[in-house]
Structure 1
Amino acid sequence: MWQWQTRSELPYLTCDLLSDWQHGFFTRQFAPREPHEITPILSATASTHRLKQVHGNIVLTPTEIATATEVEVETGNALADGLLTEQPQQAVWVASADCNPILIANRHTGNVAAVHAGWRGTSLNIATVAVNRLLAQGGSVTDIIVAIGPAIDGKVYQVTKQVGLEVCRSIALNPLSGDLKTDLTSLQAIPDSPLLPDEQVGRVRLDVRRVNQLQLEQLGVDPQAISIAPHCTYQEPEYFFSYRREKLKKIQWSGIINN
């Protein structure tokens, strides 16, 4: 399902589900190149669009970026964490280290989205926000395809129990009680739960990728139309930057171009 590609002997990943769209989850080997320098690897004619990511759930179009009032002073980049296309040959990009880079396509319209989903954005359902915006352009949820790129694996991502609860409350199968211990027990009973035990008091391990997958499935996206990359940014330093591992603000880019 996931394939290594190379450009000038530098590696990046693609997902078979998105084979009809030019896309890539690029590795640390492409640093410090910016999106406008990477887009030509995928298309010589596509325009490039990016954001100043702020760990929220705002998803914008290129038109909305051009008129955004909330922007980063130094660069003029709009403040948001997701981008969706409106017309052919628009390349949308997100940056990540341990957070989830999510690329989404709509088979009906050909439009696509790129989403940055850390634990905060995931707790705010940013992936489903992006899907709903894509569906507002046409098609049905059965037209949606999703690839969740390299991110930190839940087995090595330690968070507080409160953070685990905040991120996972969106996927609760039953109403939560308001009692932390009771609610965590309920969430850990979910099949293939994203909440894993941790030996340290007050902590759990959290699989943010799995939370995004469950949110999308609960929205109605076909489980067979969602693929998670079998790569962990924390455990594969030869390919990926990881803030949790290095405590340095270094990132890799993921992008996709609409048909």
Structure 2
Amino acid sequence: MRTTTVLLDACQGIRHGFFGRQGGTSAAPYDSLNMALRTGDQREHVLANRRIVAESLGAEHLVVARQVHGTTTVRVAEPWAADDAPEADALVTTVPGLAIAVTTADCAPILLCDPHARVVGAAHAGWKGALDGIVESVVAAMAEAGADPGRIAAAVGPCIQRRSYQVGPEFEARFLEADPASESFFTVGRGGRPYFDLESYVCLRLSRAGVTMVQASGLDTVAEPGRFFSYRRATLAGGGPFGTQASGIVIA
């Protein structure tokens, strides 16, 4: 299952996709298009799944970093082996035919492109990365590669939505301490506990970074078990293994 966005579809010479859990080789409970090498799935299945995504994007290689919920962006000039992946939560490239991707299981995947400068980016934004500045990091790296933030189009893919994201008061306090304007991204839910709108928060950070063309999918990874992997859903079910889905982009 591959989802594209109207906004990025309009970027000539760019191919992209937000992939769900369907169409791969992994057996249960990772069935079937699992991208994660570190959650217990068979390595050969994960590598085969990555090839499936690369081929779907029309690329020979799919480059994925070792994500750590940080703010580091790496500029990619050539593919690396899966075991040699650097720690980073965003990738940028200007190399045609080299697909870059992030993996998620509730965090927000962001795909970005400046088709005029032929620069693309992919970012993994969980609450911590978004709060600490991964959005600004990837936009700055794209600018260093020749992009203009005012020309960048960005799409936020399937992620945990507000209705599924109940958090504690200390979580909310951390955001409000950093920026009192963050209050608008929290609503009071069952038991008086707050719910957080990660998708809208990421869109705000994109806007603050100078990206005015932003589209969000509105798809909830927690609420659609047949389409998406979800860490939160697995946790609520008592824990256990789970997979991750890919979001990738390539310059044609």
TM-score tier after normalising by the smaller chain length: 0.7 to 0.9
What is the match of residue 136 of structure 1? 144
Q: Is the 8 A contact 1:123 1:166 kept in 2?
A: no
Amino acid at match of 2:93: T
Deviation track 1:91-125 (CA, whole Å, cap 9, x = no partner) reads 00111111101101113311111111111111112
Q: In the aligned structure 2, how far is the partner of 1:216 from the partner of 1:75?
A: 31
Residue of structure 2 in register with 1:215 after alignment: 205
Counterpart of 1:14, as a letter, is T
Aligned-residue identity in percent: 30
Please give the residue correspondences for 1:104-143 in structure 2 after superposition, counting only pairs within 5 Å. Answer: 104-143=112-151
Secondary structure in structure 1 of the residue aligned to 2:4:
strand
Gaps of at least 5 residues in structure 2 are 24-32, 35-45, 236-240
Structure-2 change in CA distance of 1:87 and 1:65 (3 Å): closer
| 57 and 13 in structure 1: CA distance in 2 versus 1, 3 angstrom threshold | same
Counterparts of 1:105 and 1:169 in 2: how far apart (Å)?
Answer: 32
- Separation (CA, whole Å) in 1 of partners of 2:177 and 2:5: 29
TM-score, with structure 1 as normaliser: 0.78
Q: Tell me the equivalent position of 2:221.
A: 233
Partner of 1:4: none
Quick one: distance in 2 between partners of 1:126 and 1:163? 18
Matched, 1:205 2:195: yes
1:60 is displaced (CA, Å) by: 0.5
Select the residue among 86, 89, 98 that pairs with 1:90: 98
Q: Give the alignment's TM-score, normalised by structure 2.
A: 0.80
Residue in structure 1 matched with residue 56 of structure 2 by the alignment? 41
Corresponding letter in the other structure for 1:103: L
Counterpart secondary structure, 1:75: helix
Secondary structure in 1 aligned to 2:22? helix
| 2:245 pairs with one of 233, 238, 252 | 252
What's the counterpart of residue 80 of structure 1?
Answer: 88
Shift of 1:226: 0.4
1:28 aligns with 2:24: no
Residue 226 of structure 1 aligns to a residue whose secondary structure is strand
Whichever residue aligns with residue 153 of structure 1, its letter is Q
Q: Work out whether residues 122 and 167 of structure 1, in 8 Å CA contact, stay in contact via their aligned partners in 2.
A: no
Amino acid at match of 2:244: I
Task: Return the offset for 1:194.
Answer: 1.4
Cα 1:199/1:51, change in 2 over 3 Å: same
- Structure 1 gap ranges (5+): 1-10, 173-182
Could you tell me how far apart the structure 2 residues matched to 1:168 and 1:64 are?
A: 40
One-letter amino acid of the structure 1 residue matched with residue 162 of structure 2: G
Aligned Cα root-mean-square deviation (Å)? 2.2
1:226-248: per-residue Cα shift (whole Å, max 9, x none)?
01102100111121111111233
CA contact (8 A) 1:119 1:167 kept: no
Paired amino acid for 1:210: S
Whole-Å Cα distance in 1 between the matches of residues 132 and 79 of structure 2? Answer: 21
Distance 1:49 1:89 in 2: 11
In 1, the alpha carbon distance for the partners of 2:134 and 2:176 equals 13
